[in-house]
């Protein structure tokens, strides 16, 4: 049992809970990364914690997992391709450590999928690109979740 005698819920606004963000492209940065063992213990994945930087979902987080150590070479090849996309998006071609990829703005393509365990929708990262890719003026980020206005079109 943990002592919570100093906590008063009357003094703190409750968290509203979070639905997944809409599928789309978002300006984002990697803010944390760490290696974790796979559920079956036969490999390890690099988990990225990613913050959305702009638009109506600013401050929200998404996560991506790259299984870089696994007995199945195809699994590792897919993860290495994704890591290469992150490197190209950030401009860090030989990161050395995962922290070298942190805090560099890029565009993250986010999708939705149903969770196998609950059937609820959850976000998945589908891709990474440089922040100046896509439509709009040079250097503008592509941030176009449904119903949102891209930054270069806002007044």
| Stated length of the chain | 155
* Closest to 69 measured CA to CA, from 33, 102, 36: 36
Domain with 114, as residue range(s), is 19-143
At residue 143, the pLDDT reads 43
User: Could you say which residues of the chain have pLDDT below 50?
Assistant: 133-155
- Specify if 40 maps to a domain: yes
At residue 144, the pLDDT reads 41
Contact between 28 and 52 under an 8 Å Cβ cutoff? The reply is yes
At residue 152, the pLDDT reads 33
102 DSSP 8-state letter: B
- Specify if 149 maps to a domain: no
Domain count, the chain: 1
Query: For the whole model, what pTM was predicted?
Result: 0.77
CATH of the domain at 89: 2.40.50
Q: How far apart are CA 13 and CA 10, in angstroms?
A: 8
At residue 15, the pLDDT reads 84
- Specify if 66 maps to a domain: yes
At residue 137, the pLDDT reads 32
- Specify if 6 maps to a domain: no
Structure tokens at 143: 């941030």
- Specify if 14 maps to a domain: no
């Amino acid at each position: 049992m943990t002592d919570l005698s100093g906590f008063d819920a009357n003094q703190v606004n409750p968290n509203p809970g979070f639905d997944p963000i809409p599928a789309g492209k978002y300006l984002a940065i990697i803010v944390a990364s760490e290696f974790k063992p796979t559920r079956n213990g036969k490999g390890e994945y690099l988990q990225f914690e990613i913050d959305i930087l702009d638009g109506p979902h600013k401050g929200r987080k998404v996560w991506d997992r790259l299984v870089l150590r696994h007995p199945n070479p195809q699994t590792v090849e897919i993860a290495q391709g994704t890591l290469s996309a992150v490197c190209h998006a950030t401009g860090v071609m030989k990161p050395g450590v995962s922290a070298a990829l942190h805090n560099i703005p890029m565009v993250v393509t986010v999708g939705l999928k149903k969770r196998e365990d609950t059937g609820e929708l959850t976000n998945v990262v589908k891709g990474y690109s440089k922040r100046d890719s896509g439509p709009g003026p040079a250097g503008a980020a592509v941030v176009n979740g449904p119903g949102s206005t891209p930054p270069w079109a806002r007044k």
